[in-house]
């Protein structure tokens, strides 16, 4: 085990911050994971690359899980601004999250999210938002947040408080989600 790794399970799955040398392998498992979800209308690898090249990227909050030198999972948190009446509220957006097919249904996604939420709190963030599968994320402690606009119309916007009471005053439009959504529309027009 390297010094910057944490063991997730007794079975030998470890988590650590992503490194540039991981990027190709990350793209591969993200693309494999995306093929399983019929609701994904865009290339998650492209989204990751786009976030990495933006000011919303937080390298300290992008993680891989691995076992026996094989990439098992990927999780990224990026900066998110909730803007209400021109007033910005800093937060985080959880995702993309991907688990390699051979490692699915083993609890790795849950452990990665728990680890990531703890790291986000240690970095001083108070709230995390996710647009996705409501049932799964609600089991993780996320709650629906109807005051936020953004995300796919078919997905719920859910929130997680890292600091008690932090969600009580937040509502508005999600950024960079809207910027990213506009970029995705542009890419699909050009393909």
**What domains can you pick out in the chain, each with its CATH number?**
6-190 (3.40.630.30)
pTM exceeds 0.75, yes or no? yes
The mean pLDDT value for 161-190 works out to: 66
Average pLDDT of the chain is: 81
> Which CA distances in Å does 14 have to 7, 177, 185?
4, 30, 36
Angle of the 23-35 helix axis to the 44-52 helix axis, nearest 10: 140
More confident residue, 152 or 100: 100
More confident residue, 86 or 4: 86
Confidence of residue 71 (pLDDT cuts 50, 70, 90): very high
Residue 51: which of 74, 29, 83 has the closest Cα?
74
Return the pLDDT at 184.
45
- Whether 136 has a pLDDT exceeding 50, the answer reads yes
pLDDT digits (tens, 9 = 90+) for 4-62: 667 766 578 899 999 999 999 999 888 877 665 544 455 778 888 888 998 899 999 99
Return the pLDDT at 8.
66
Confidence of residue 124 (pLDDT cuts 50, 70, 90): very high
- In the chain, alpha helices (H): 23-35, 44-52, 108-122, 134-139, 177-190
């Amino acid at each position: 085990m390297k010094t910057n790794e944490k063991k997730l399970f007794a079975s030998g799955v470890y988590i650590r911050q992503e490194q540039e040398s991981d990027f190709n392998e990350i793209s591969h498992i993200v693309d494999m994971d995306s093929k399983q979800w019929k609701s994904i209308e865009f290339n998650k690898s492209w989204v990751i690359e786009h976030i990495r090249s933006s000011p919303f990227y937080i390298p300290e909050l992008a993680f891989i899980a691995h076992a026996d030198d094989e990439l098992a999972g990927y999780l990224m948190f990026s900066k998110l601004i909730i803007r209400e009446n021109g007033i910005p509220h800093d937060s985080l957006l959880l995702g993309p999250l991907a688990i390699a097919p051979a490692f699915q249904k083993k609890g790795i996604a849950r452990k990665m999210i728990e680890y990531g939420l703890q790291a986000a709190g240690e970095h001083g963030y108070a709230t995390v938002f996710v647009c996705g599968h409501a049932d799964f994320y609600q089991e993780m402690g996320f709650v629906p947040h109807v005051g936020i606009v953004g995300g796919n119309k078919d997905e719920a916007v859910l929130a997680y408080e890292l600091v008690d009471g932090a969600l009580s005053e937040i509502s508005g439009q999600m950024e960079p989600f809207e910027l990213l959504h506009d970029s995705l529309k542009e890419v699909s027009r050009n393909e």
